[in-house]
């Protein structure tokens, strides 16, 4: 186990934040993460974290995955003190970080996310991983499944993934895989593009709309200026920012603010009879 003390980092909040779908709470304070074919177990108590990996793997992959080199306190310090709503949202989701996830995995994940809720999205993704992903073993000798590569999905019938509970989204995922395999969509090239250009390229894919493209830009490409708008965010804008969100003030990291707002709307505003406190 590799011990690290990390501020502004809360695995429970990240797990429930809607940006990652293969992260689960195994036991109280113990989380498992599958990214591609990698597997990680993390234990957290307050700011103390134990990563079940080597120093080299942590440095080469997981440190970047969790965006641990970024100081999130500086984002919160920039919040307008007169904006009571955003101040409360940032305090409530104080341990959220924007993960750096695999582009292909996020493309499929957020195509599946359309008109869906987090629990069902997780189930759909687990289904396609079990059906089409490589079988792997973790340090406990337990079986888990890697996220399927585009080649594993590209040749399927367009309705094949309905068996994995994807419904109408099946054809979107199969067509995206075929586009990547054929070279029509170059994910490596998209990964090098600035935000606006990457977003434009993603929107060319069948089944990818503005919200999905922005989610991919934010949670895979780490374009922190992306600001995905779903029903929760739209409701927050109507209630608190009728003249529009103050993008100019938060230029370059609007997506961090979006996550604070999304998490707050999902876990506090929708259950305001009893305030749900952060886990530490």
Q: Please give the Cα distance from 147 to 127 (Å, whole number).
A: 10
- Residue from 55, 40, 37, 12 nearest 102 by CA: 37
Q: Which of 247-251's residues contact partners 24+ apart within 8 Å by CB, and which partners?
A: 249/78, 249/80, 250/78, 251/225
Concerning whether 211 is annotated as a catalytic residue, the answer is yes
- Residues of 144-166 as b/e, b for ≥16 C-beta within 10 angstroms? bbbbbbbebbbebeeebbeebbb
Residues in Cβ contact with 21 at an 8 Å cutoff, skipping those fewer than 6 apart: 109, 118, 121, 122, 125
276 touches 264 (CB < 8 A): no
In the chain, count H helices and then E strands.
14, 7
Element (DSSP H or E) covering residue 48: strand 48-51
Residues counted in the chain? 280
**Tokens (6 digits) for 66:** 């969790």
Residue tagged active-site, from 63, 171, 211, 275: 211
Q: Please give the Cα distance from 92 to 278 (Å, whole number).
A: 6
Catalytic residue annotation = 211
């Amino acid at each position: 186990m590799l011990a690290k003390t990390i501020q502004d980092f809360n695995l429970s909040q990240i797990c429930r934040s809607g940006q990652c779908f293969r992260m689960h709470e195994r036991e109280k304070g113990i989380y498992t993460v599958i990214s591609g074919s990698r597997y990680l177990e993390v234990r957290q108590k307050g700011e103390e974290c134990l990563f079940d990996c080597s120093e080299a793997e942590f440095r080469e992959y997981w440190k970047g995955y969790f965006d641990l080199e970024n100081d999130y306190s500086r984002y919160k310090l920039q919040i307008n003190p007169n904006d009571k709503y955003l101040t409360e949202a940032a305090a409530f989701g104080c341990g959220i970080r924007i993960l750096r996830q695999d582009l292909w995995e996020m493309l499929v994940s957020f195509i599946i996310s359309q008109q869906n809720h987090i629990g069902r999205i997780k189930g759909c993704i687990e289904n396609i991983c079990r059906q089409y992903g490589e079988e792997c073993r973790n340090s406990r000798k337990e079986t888990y499944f890697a996220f399927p590569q585009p080649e594993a999905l590209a040749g399927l019938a367009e309705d094949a993934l309905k068996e994995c509970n994807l419904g109408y989204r099946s054809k979107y995922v199969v067509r995206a895989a075929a586009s990547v395999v054929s070279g029509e969509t170059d994910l490596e090239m998209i990964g090098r593009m600035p935000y606006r250009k990457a977003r434009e390229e993603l929107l060319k894919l069948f089944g990818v709309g503005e919200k999905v493209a922005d989610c991919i830009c934010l949670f895979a490409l780490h374009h922190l200026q992306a600001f995905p708008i779903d029903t929760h965010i739209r409701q927050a804008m109507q209630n608190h920012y009728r003249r529009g969100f103050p993008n100019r003030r938060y230029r370059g990291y609007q997506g961090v603010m979006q996550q604070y707002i999304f998490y707050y709307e999902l876990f506090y505003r929708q259950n305001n009879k009893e305030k749900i406190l952060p886990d530490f």
